[in-house]
Structure 1
Amino acid sequence: MPHRTATAPVVKEQKDWGIAGEAQQVRRTITVRMGDDMRFSPRHIEVREGDTVRLRAENQGKVLHEIVIGTKAELDQHAELMKKHPGMEHDEPYMAHVAAGKKGDIVWHFNRAGSFDFACLIPGHYQAGMTGTITVLPRNP
């Protein structure tokens, strides 16, 4: 699967769950481990509205995994597409595909409060429960 190169500009598209962030604005890195047990650890992440966070996905398994941030409805829809087109190439700033034993980063600016989800949408993984939640707490007054 081709991946964005460091020289390619990141498309900044506002999503319900935020917008692509700038690495120099990251104040916190959260490591999320992925395994062949089809689980993320931690499964729940809490951030503050306005935070730019680096989600560092560590694949501790022996097969490819990914982490994709979105709403439950968007992830359900994307998972269905992936089942129909398993070789589908996709690369957005809110996802990271991570080969076995490797790490991948998502730099994301959470500019909207709410409850969002993340998942591995590789066919079979999502259906096996490889999901988690992100709570974006409102900004401090």
Structure 2
Amino acid sequence: MFLPKGVLPRSLTLAACLLALGAPAWASPAQNYDFGQAASAAKATRTVELVMGDMSFSPKTLDIKAGETVRFVLVNKGQLLHEFNLGDAAMHAKHQQEMLKMQQSGMLTPTAVKDMPAGAMDHAAMGHGAMPGMKHDDPNSVLVEPGKTAELTWTFSKAGSLEFACNIPGHYQAGMVGKLTVSQ
């Protein structure tokens, strides 16, 4: 079949559109993380409360066992919007760039997160392709507004060293990061 240059067959165009509509803007909920996966709170074998102050977590270190499912209760006692994100330093560095773009778009304010309507941003210019609305819905991450409480439950699959961090621009650099050790 002959098609003019730059024209895709209708079936491929439809498939690309369906994929784009189903793809969240900033997250990959189906993404596999080598250190574990999101779990339901009912599966938690332990609950850990973390208090978020402005530029701090308390406690600053956590020890977890491989195979353990932990329900994190995140209490933001600070005056600013904060994030709890599980990952290694490289993951945090990448996510910080995404969070910066979210802040520059107006989605993140110092105290809140706003939903962005479809088409509100030029995602293609950011290297993300055409995406409906911008969202913060990574399974290893949650945003917590001042005075609010949120939860994240995670099953840790293997031993290793991780960090829990706030990747809102400038927060990680100001010390809002903690060490999480997963042992056998």
Task: With the length of structure 2 as denominator, give the TM-score of the two structures.
Answer: 0.65
Deviations for 1:32-71, whole angstroms, at most 9, x for unmatched residues? 11011x0101111111000000011110011111100011
Aligned position for 2:169:
123
Q: 2:100 aligns with which of 51, 63, 83?
A: 83
1:53–1:12 distance in 2 versus 1, CA, 3 Å: farther
Within 5 Å, give how 1:1-141 maps onto structure 2.
11=29, 13-36=31-54, 38-86=55-103, 87=107, 89-138=135-184
Considering fraction of residues, name the structure with more strand: 1
Deviations for 1:77-129, whole angstroms, at most 9, x for unmatched residues? 11122223313631122111111111110100001110011110111111211
Q: Secondary structure at the match of 2:79?
A: coil
Larger Rg: 2
Q: RMSD of the alignment, in Å?
A: 1.4
> Does the 8 Å CA contact 1:65/1:122 hold for their aligned counterparts?
yes
Q: What is the percent sequence identity of the aligned residues?
A: 43
Task: With the length of structure 1 as denominator, give the TM-score of the two structures.
Answer: 0.84
Runs of 5+ unmatched residues, structure 2:
1-28, 108-133
Runs of 5+ unmatched residues, structure 1:
1-10
May I ask how many residue pairs the two structures share in their alignment?
A: 127
**Matching residue's letter, 2:152:** I
Considering fraction of residues, name the structure with more helix: 2
Moved over 3 A (4+): none
